[in-house]
Structure 1
């Protein structure tokens, strides 16, 4: 059954998704670049730790996702007709899926790292190292890429209708893959987030040694992660779970696709909003992050002035801000 026989209203999501993608790209790109710039100077000043590695990977994932948004906007302007051929569609489609679920996994790693640092600060020192964080980063990227590659094969491009990353109605194989992404890419991370949040909450109530400033930062991290899961990723996975489970059992798939098309597509677009929230980790997790970023930007402005000289770096420079709690 083809998309033409389903007679889907493909033009109904174009305006809404174009507005979402345009806003996310215009705001998310500079904010992620500024956060990466701040992390670079933070690492140079001696403030590196496993948290920095996780945040760095999260921001890189966001940047890759942001770079695909202009192509999706052009795709929507053509009313769901991909103008760049099969290879470009497959590349952009893989990048989009991989970075969505890589972001989810790095959010889980940040939550687990905070839980270990607060609940088991001494026992976890051997685990919370830059080397372990780097290994975990490589593992997340590799597993996510292989999982998405297996699920999206043989192609995400439909040549007759020139649809990219869309199929109406979907095959049973793709529906099972999407159900697996709901379970492994959303429900399991939600369980991890609930477990870590509960333990952190109990420790904060029982420990009087944690200052009010540190408590606000810890709560800020949990709020950002929870907002990502509930507001950004939640609607897409819940609506998608209903859609793909129903498609496996219904005898009228086109009727189901027509009834849920607009809601599902708008929830799909909401997943890009995580690129606006993720830079907040830089400010919540890095001590004196704003001051470090302001200093680096001030140095750039001074060096850009005509006739200015770059001051030599002293060997006795003070260590930069550290990540808390250590």
Structure 2
């Protein structure tokens, strides 16, 4: 049995938290792009755009969950919503890999990489990432619109209940998604951040704050890969081995949606532009005042 209200609640929570934080981020990065953008700013802008596109189509998933995982809209709309929903998930994983690679190359080869580190290359790389994820996820249109001669009634589900003919195409493609679109970015990111931390701690002149930010960046990225992306991609592996989509696959999409809530932490640790934005500065001041007020109250209670 699937608890549809749990699924709907997570989608609503993700939408309410992810939308304002990513709107703040994209406004900050858009302003920087109009000034003097760095390659890192361009990659982060694309990551934010991917999150916002995901959140834009999330209401369709809310609608689906609210009526018991049924779909009474057109199958064309189903394919479009599913296409952008899945495309943005894999675009995010590839962009996180690109951000990790950019940071590693900048630390490992500071002089050589500085000569090659141009905003144009980051823009071209981002475009390639969008094209790769979009091309991979075009399988959604093929599967949804594949003719089924045995169908007697219209489908009332979206991208589910596949025929044997559909599964012969879809399940091997999902396995390729697991290897190329998930495992490869994960392993590259792990390699880059382990080496980044090693390089930073082997250089005594690097400030403690920069070292802590590097650890925070690594932990945030690995959390997103392992907590948000792993369950859903693991369902691809299980589905391929069992020749059927597991029923619990519905729940694996829930942590994938939380990616949009965790990405702002990546923005904070990796971008001075985002850290110095007015809204973030106000939030930090408010948190500091709250902490100071609570400490003052505690001291007063001890004295009395």
2:39–2:117 CA contact under 8 A, matched in 1 = yes
Q: Which moved more, 1:266-275 or 1:53-62?
A: 266-275
* Partner residue, 2:184: 188
In the alignment, the residues of structure 2 paired with residue 280 and residue 187 of structure 1 have an alpha-carbon distance, to the nearest angstrom, of 22
1:289 equivalent to 2:274? Answer yes
Matches for 1:144-155 after TM superposition, within 5 Å:
144-149=133-138, 151-155=139-143
Aligned counterpart in structure 2 of residue 230 of structure 1, from 220, 226, 232: 226
| Structure 1 residue 13: Cα displacement | 3.6
Alpha-carbon offset, residue 221 of structure 1:
1.3
Which protein, 1 or 2, shows the higher relative CO under an 8 Å CA cutoff with sep ≥ 6? 1
- CA displacement, residues 44-69 of structure 1 (integer Å, 9 cap, x when unaligned): 454x2000000000000000101111
Unmatched tracts of structure 2, length 5 or more: 283-304
Structure 2 CA distance for aligned equivalents of residues 288 and 88 of structure 1: 38
1:132-281 mapped onto 2 (5 Å cutoff) = 132-149=121-138, 151-156=139-144, 160-168=154-162, 171-247=167-243, 260-261=246-247, 263-281=248-266
Question: Is 1:24 matched with 2:20?
Answer: no
Runs of 4+ in 1 over 4 A off after TM superposition: none
2:84 alignment counterpart: 95
Runs of 5+ in structure 1 lacking a partner? 1-8, 248-252, 298-326
Work out whether residues 107 and 225 of structure 1, in 8 Å CA contact, stay in contact via their aligned partners in 2.
yes
Structure 2: how far apart are the matches of 1:45 and 1:216? Answer: 28
Higher normalized helix content (fraction of residues) = 2
**Residue in structure 1 matching 2:97, options 84, 87, 108:** 108
TM-score (norm 1): 0.78
Question: Structure 2 CA distance, aligned partners of 1:85 and 1:43?
Answer: 38
- Structure 2: distance between partners of 1:266 and 1:38: 33
With the length of structure 2 as denominator, give the TM-score of the two structures.
0.84
CA-to-aligned-CA distance 1:5-53 (integer Å, 9 cap, x gap) = xxxx4xx14112101101000000000001112223334454x200000
CA distance in 1, matches of 2:194, 2:281: 37
**CA shift in 2, pair 1:163/1:295, >3 Å:** closer
RMSD of aligned residue pairs (Cα, Å): 2.1
How many residues were matched structurally? 274
Alpha carbons 1:118, 1:200 under 8 Å: kept: yes
Equivalent residues of 2:83, 2:141 under 8 A apart? no
Aligned to 2:42, the other structure's residue is in SS state helix
The answer to whether the Cα contact below 8 Å between 2:30 and 2:45 also exists between their aligned partners in 1 is: no
SS of 2:114's equivalent?
Answer: coil
**CA-to-partner distance for each residue in 1:106-134, whole Å, 9 max, x for gaps?**
00000001101112111111332100000
Q: How far apart, in 2, do the equivalents of 1:288 and 1:265 lie?
A: 37
Change (3 A) 1:296 1:280: closer
